[in-house]
A and B are shown apart, each in its own frame.
Chain A
């Protein structure tokens, strides 16, 4: 592989990491509260509001049912509004984050739902309000699942970012398609796949280690 090719590979890796990290972070910031809201507003939740729960659930399902490649194109006006341009790595972060947020919200929701209701009751019984329940019970008790779910989301984002090449975002997937597939440069294709495997394994390894460290449930 030529030095130019190597440099291209490094740049693509950086683009993928940037897209994954930025959209992952955004999905964490918005997805976790959304997951909390889905649990809290549901029947028997700490802030039961069934109509709100249905609306939130509907929005989440709506976004999750749109194929990412369609979302990528459909969100172009919004992307232009936020980033100022509809092409490039930064532009891809908007649709990636918007796709990942409801995805992560559902994963976080599952973990939050698994928190023993007895613990919520115990904190209510000691005079704790909703905020105390969220801060002292729901989030800390679900944290291993929340972190594990975030790992899954990041890995999914690595895959989804390959499609972002369609709007000129670059990244490893784009490199593999343009050089490896369209120009029959097998070496590039193999190199990209290896880098992707290492990247995904790395994310998973860090996530797993973190979960083990956080999990005190014995």
Chain B
């Protein structure tokens, strides 16, 4: 399956988030349930204004980690600083004002069925003790922001999944938080609704400068809106970096496997025809950044004569950076395949000779 993605409209230069301060700093966090560690020594910072995506398979410890940040879950060891203030060890009562600085959205929306949309959005302010007029004015403003100005008096049961999550987002923003936590917020939504919710989140991130920490098991979510990615596996962060660079050059097997569904893979039809030898080699070429902007194939053909053709793959744009995976069929004079590999390596591409085919596939 060939995938072509357009740029998600990311305007930030890759990996370059203004170091205006850290909203969250986690130091060696540990939490176990019984004998199983759910979070096993995580250290992580969330920078002001960025969208950090934490991805992992189910059971990797994502939910436990995100729930530690607002004290819904108590860590066994380690420290968490939110806006410079340590929150580990705070009592439930002391956590309450802190939680008002952190909005949270949920996979299953968690809207109160007995309250209207407007009252759901206004609830954080009611808990804060604001006046009714102030609450309703803020709710109207936020419902306008999320595009639900006409649903003010509706009850959640009459809304679609996407609309419910929009209400959830409006509610999470009501108390003007410094950080938004997103716990699999799009996992219960269809792909189209997911895209609209993600673009809303990106919009809010850019318009309001709101810092977002999201957890997901879907790489597509990370690809669409995150600036940085952290890969969580068995309670540990095994890989971390700007999204485009992790996508371009995943270091761990888990990351590669999570990327499997979103990056081009060698089609089975070709893999099935690999022979021990053949006149055409099939190469996998991973390129990103500068290397992906060059007329690479033309340069290759000029340097090493041969017959080159693309059999699969494409170039994706992540955070405005080209990240490509190309499957190249290279029919070269005997013994010159190594030159092809060397040439591509020298141009900054990672090359892997996957096999040979005897005739065109």
Name A residues whose Cβ lies closer than 8 Å to a Cβ of B: 116, 118-119, 121-129, 132, 136-137, 140-141, 143, 214, 216-218
Name B residues whose Cβ lies closer than 8 Å to a Cβ of A: 70, 72, 92-93, 95-100, 102-104, 106, 108, 110-115, 123-124, 126-128, 155-158, 171-172, 174-175, 181
Taking a contact as CB atoms under 8 Å apart, the answer to whether B110 and A118 are in contact is yes
Residues of A within 8 A of B99 (CB): 124-127
Taking a contact as CB atoms under 8 Å apart, the answer to whether B127 and A128 are in contact is yes
27 A-B residue pairs with Cβ-Cβ distance under 8 Å, sorted by A, are A118-B106, A118-B110, A119-B111, A119-B112, A121-B72, A121-B110, A122-B110, A122-B112, A124-B72, A125-B72, A126-B99, A126-B103, A126-B104, A126-B123, A127-B99, A127-B100, A127-B127, A128-B127, A129-B93, A129-B96, A136-B126, A140-B115, A141-B112, A141-B113, A214-B114, A216-B157, A217-B113
With CB as the reference atom, state the residue of chain A lying closest to B181: A125
**For B96, B102, B172, B174, which residue has the most chain A Cβ atoms within 10 angstroms?**
B96
Taking a contact as CB atoms under 8 Å apart, the answer to whether A122 and B113 are in contact is no
Cβ distance B27 to chain A, nearest Cβ, rounded Å = 22
Q: How far is the CA of A216 from the CA of B99 in the complex (A)?
A: 28
With CB as the reference atom, state the residue of chain A lying closest to B175: A126
Cβ distance B75 to chain A, nearest Cβ, rounded Å = 16
With CB as the reference atom, state the residue of chain B lying closest to A125: B104
Q: How far is the CA of A102 from the CA of B299 in the complex (A)?
A: 85
Q: How far is the CA of A127 from the CA of B95 in the complex (A)?
A: 7
Taking a contact as CB atoms under 8 Å apart, the answer to whether B72 and A132 are in contact is no
Residues of A within 8 A of B93 (CB): 129
Closest 10 pairs between A and B when the two form their complex, measured CB to CB: A218-B157, A122-B110, A140-B114, A127-B99, A127-B100, A126-B124, A125-B104, A216-B155, A118-B110, A127-B96
Taking a contact as CB atoms under 8 Å apart, the answer to whether A128 and B96 are in contact is yes
Taking a contact as CB atoms under 8 Å apart, the answer to whether B157 and A141 are in contact is no
Residues of B within 8 A of A141 (CB): 112-114
Q: How far is the CA of A205 from the CA of B97 in the complex (A)?
A: 45
Residues of A within 8 A of B102 (CB): 125
Residues of A within 8 A of B96 (CB): 127-129
Which of A127, A137, A218 is close to B112, meaning CB atoms less than 8 Å apart? A137
Cβ distance A140 to chain B, nearest Cβ, rounded Å = 4
Which of B103, B114, B155, B181 is close to A143, meaning CB atoms less than 8 Å apart? B114
Cβ distance A166 to chain B, nearest Cβ, rounded Å = 42
Taking a contact as CB atoms under 8 Å apart, the answer to whether A127 and B108 are in contact is no
Residues of A within 8 A of B174 (CB): 126
Taking a contact as CB atoms under 8 Å apart, the answer to whether B104 and A122 are in contact is yes
Q: How far is the CA of A216 from the CA of B113 in the complex (A)?
A: 6
Q: How far is the CA of A121 from the CA of B112 in the complex (A)?
A: 11
Residues of B within 8 A of A127 (CB): 95-100, 124, 127-128, 175
Taking a contact as CB atoms under 8 Å apart, the answer to whether A125 and B113 are in contact is no
Cβ distance A98 to chain B, nearest Cβ, rounded Å = 31
Cβ distance B165 to chain A, nearest Cβ, rounded Å = 13
Cβ distance A79 to chain B, nearest Cβ, rounded Å = 39
Which of A121, A123, A143, A216 is close to B123, meaning CB atoms less than 8 Å apart? A123
Extra A-B contacts (7), CB below 8 Å, given A122-B106, A137-B112: A118-B106, A125-B72, A125-B181, A126-B127, A126-B172, A140-B112, A217-B157
Which of A119, A121, A123, A218 is close to B155, meaning CB atoms less than 8 Å apart? A218
Residues of B within 8 A of A217 (CB): 113, 157
With CB as the reference atom, state the residue of chain B lying closest to A122: B110
Cβ distance B187 to chain A, nearest Cβ, rounded Å = 14
With CB as the reference atom, state the residue of chain A lying closest to B177: A126
Q: How far is the CA of A116 from the CA of B70 in the complex (A)?
A: 20
Taking a contact as CB atoms under 8 Å apart, the answer to whether A136 and B70 are in contact is no
Residues of B within 8 A of A116 (CB): 110
